[in-house]
Structure 1
Amino acid sequence: MSTSLVVGGSGRTGRRVVERLLAAGRPVAVLSRRPRPAAGVRTIVGDLDDPATWPAALADVDGVVVCVGPPHDAAGAETVVHRGVAALAAAAAERDLRVVLVSQIYVTRPQAHPAMAHVTEARARGEQALRASGADPAVVRPGWLTDEPATGVRLEQGDTGWPTALAALTPDAVAGSL
């Protein structure tokens, strides 16, 4: 069985992804600036924006999950969640790998949160780079991630955002989504 690479696998969301993959019996490799060694997990020290890490990181993997939190400054966000994702996507495309990118809500509407618009815009460029790369893409745009157990799932097509989702949370809608 091939290995799943989790980029950002030492972060809050990445650790959850690693736990789920291990629980499913999948071998896991983690690429992180500060990896936390774990039993049964191959750790690779590296940065999403450093293409020199890709040959070792992508060796013997059959899929990649990217769940990195971007820096809050414009240049850092551009480097990590746009150019870093683009470089990874290009390397993954050469190996015909699926890439699952955990992005964020409001990617199509950065003006909804002006203070974070530069991060949101960089994430949107990263998503587009993934789609254009030739890799097999999947983009997930969570509205809110917590450490609490899930109480239901709401799946939407498009980027409708929290106000629309909140307005749709009638008791019948919630019951129907469970």
Structure 2
Amino acid sequence: MPSVAVVAATGRTGRLVVERALAAGHSVTAVARRPEALGIEHPRLTVRAADVTDPDTLREALTGHDAVISALGSRGRGPTDLYSAGTAAIIAALPEGARLVVVSSAGLAAPADAGPGTRLAARALYRVMRHAYADMERMEARLAASGLVWTAVRPTGLTDRPGTGRPRVSIGATERVGNRTSRADLAAFIVDHLDDPLTFARPVAVSS
């Protein structure tokens, strides 16, 4: 995967994905409404402005890339369609044959091995985050129907702590992982598993 585009590159997760991809030797295009806010310079980095919900402006930014990583995230707890609308635009603009990875949330479903306390906490969190989670579900449904080589990475509660270098992973999101996920560990998992066929067309739960 020599050429990677990162959508929503100026967010806290997106910025770390850009840094990790560059460190891994990829050529990277950082895509955002205000890419100048990224504040990173590198000989293998290109910055492009695009409306992340408009496939026409995205198409030019994404052309020629082997993989596209979406770090879209909404703010607040109110109704949103950012995840589903943004992913729909990315799907429409995606270069033929390109890999697509999106950031979702482990809060969408309690794993099969979760205990009563974990299930109760998960239900409470889902009520609080119901609008964002409902839109993430719509996003993942779009992915499942797309026929693309996609992965929905579902981190648990995100933190800005340093990465552990030992992320806990559940392919298929069927087993418990930890309660918190360092954004650095999330970025590392995404970049390091772009070519991993075990993650293709599946959700993957991740934590630190």
Distance 1:50 1:147 in 2: 30
Q: Which amino acid aligns with 1:59?
A: T
Task: Return closer, same or farther for 1:17/1:111 CA change in 2, 3 Å cut-off.
Answer: same
Q: Which residue of 2 aligns with 1:112?
A: 124
DSSP 3-state at the match of 1:130: helix
Q: CA deviation at 1:111?
A: 4.3
Task: Return closer, same or farther for 1:50/1:71 CA change in 2, 3 Å cut-off.
Answer: farther
1:105–1:161 CA contact under 8 A, matched in 2: no
Computing the radius of gyration over CA atoms, which structure comes out larger, 1 or 2? 1
Q: Which amino acid aligns with 2:58?
A: W
* Equivalent residues in 2 for 1:137-152, closer than 5 Å: 137-151=150-164, 152=166
Distance 1:74 1:45 in 2: 26
Q: Which residue of 2 aligns with 1:169?
A: none
CA deviation vs aligned residue, 1:65-117 (integer Å, no higher than 9, x gap)? 00111143544x21x1012112212332x612110111111113684321210
Aligned length: 162
Runs (5+) with no aligned partner, structure 2 = 111-121, 180-207
Distance 2:70 2:87 in 1: 8
Q: CA deviation at 1:58?
A: 1.4
Task: Return closer, same or farther for 1:46/1:31 CA change in 2, 3 Å cut-off.
Answer: same
Q: Which residue of 2 aligns with 1:125?
A: 138
Determine if the alignment matches structure 1 residue 155 to structure 2 residue 169: yes
2:7–2:70 CA contact under 8 A, matched in 1: yes
Higher strand share: 2
Aligned residues with identical type, % of pairs:
35
RMSD over equivalenced CA pairs, Å: 2.4
Runs (5+) with no aligned partner, structure 1 = 167-177
Q: CA deviation at 1:144?
A: 2.6
Q: Which residue of 1 aligns with 2:83?
A: 81
Q: Which residue of 2 aligns with 1:172?
A: none
Distance 1:160 1:116 in 2: 21
- More displaced, 24-33 or 152-161? 152-161
